[in-house]
Amino acid sequence: MPRGYTPKCKYISASAGISIDYIGAYKKYNHTFVKKMTGLREKPQIIYVANDGPAARAGLMIGDEILSVDGITTERIANMHSNKDILAYHIQDVIASKSPMATVKFEIRRRDKAHTIPVKLERSCSARFILKSDQNVRAFSDGKNIAFTTGIMRFTRNEDELALIAGHELAHVIAGTPKRSGLFGRRVIEDKADLFGAELAQCAGYDVVRGIKFWSRYHKYEVRKKLNFQTHRSAQSREDRLREAAPSLRCRKLLLENENS
């Protein structure tokens, strides 16, 4: 996204530009796979840092274990809630509750050494990405949060493919997708989400054409599993429409909201 702009979004909060995960959120039988996928250890850990985001500019890195946020230890944050397994989300809630543009001190552990790093937050669309233990190749949204299954993580081959799928689900969150009746109405919504999602992926710096290859392989998966999503077009049709639209995709400011306006 261009600096100084955030997507028009119903849910806005303060953000450090990071994703956090916690091994306790996963079934024990999946720990080996999740640790291999994310490098998670026992403490909540940063698994993604947005390019040129607040955390990246401050010096936070993927793999940093979070010990405290603004003086509140992660143990204390966990003890504030009955469901300690989703500690990563509770930490994100602490960050999101701060005033946008506030400076928050992160105490982290990196290669067995503790560091305190101040991060100046920014306004952001507050949609969260969640990894679910599920072997099915799926991504979905509840209108505010976005979930990827471990199945789709295995199925995708690169970040461009993931970005295209994430963009589609984020498009639903940003647009505040209204409920429309009938097959035609739902397909109109999904078609718009495909194109808007591709623009979001391109705005974020991903290669949409490379990402579209996901649909070629998913078409074979769709046939093999005898899937029939009536509210969506076939994977082959979605691929064809995106390939046709790809040359004209632009990161258009009309899709964005100036923070200073």
The domain that contains 98 carries what CATH number?
A: 2.30.42.10
Helix-helix angle 213-225:159-175, to 10 degrees = 80
Residue owning tokens 């946008």: 100
Rounded to whole angstroms, how far apart are CA atoms 87 and 72? 13
Q: How many CA atoms lie within 13 A of 228 on its CB side?
A: 2
What is the pLDDT, as a whole number, of residue 180?
61
Asked if residue 138 is part of any domain, the answer here is no
Asked if residue 142 is part of any domain, the answer here is no
Residue 8 pLDDT class (50, 70, 90 cuts): low
| Domain span at 63 | 5-125
pLDDT tens-digit series, residues 206-229: 999 999 999 999 999 888 887 776
Asked if residue 189 is part of any domain, the answer here is yes
Q: Give the residue from 100, 125, 150 where a domain finishes.
A: 125
Q: Give the residue from 125, 142, 168 where a domain finishes.
A: 125
Statement to judge: residues 164 and 121 lie in one domain: no
Asked if residue 245 is part of any domain, the answer here is yes
Encoding tokens for residue 56?
């990246």
**Beta strands of 95-214 (E only): which ranges?**
103-110, 113-120, 122-125, 128-132, 139-141, 145-149
Statement to judge: residues 163 and 117 lie in one domain: no
Long-range contacts of 204-208 (CB under 8 A, 24+ apart): 204/1, 204/163, 204/167, 205/51, 206/159, 206/160, 206/163, 206/164, 207/160, 208/160, 208/164, 208/242, 208/246, 208/249
Asked if residue 194 is part of any domain, the answer here is yes
In this predicted structure, the answer to whether residue 235 has a pLDDT above a threshold of 60 is yes
How many structural domains does the chain have?
2
Average pLDDT value over all residues in the chain: 87
Statement to judge: residues 108 and 178 lie in one domain: no
Q: Give the residue from 109, 125, 141 where a domain finishes.
A: 125
pLDDT tens-digit series, residues 9-39: 777 889 999 999 999 988 888 888 888 877 8
Asked if residue 149 is part of any domain, the answer here is no
Statement to judge: residues 201 and 248 lie in one domain: yes
Model confidence, pTM = 0.69
Encoding tokens for residue 25?
């959120």
Statement to judge: residues 11 and 75 lie in one domain: yes
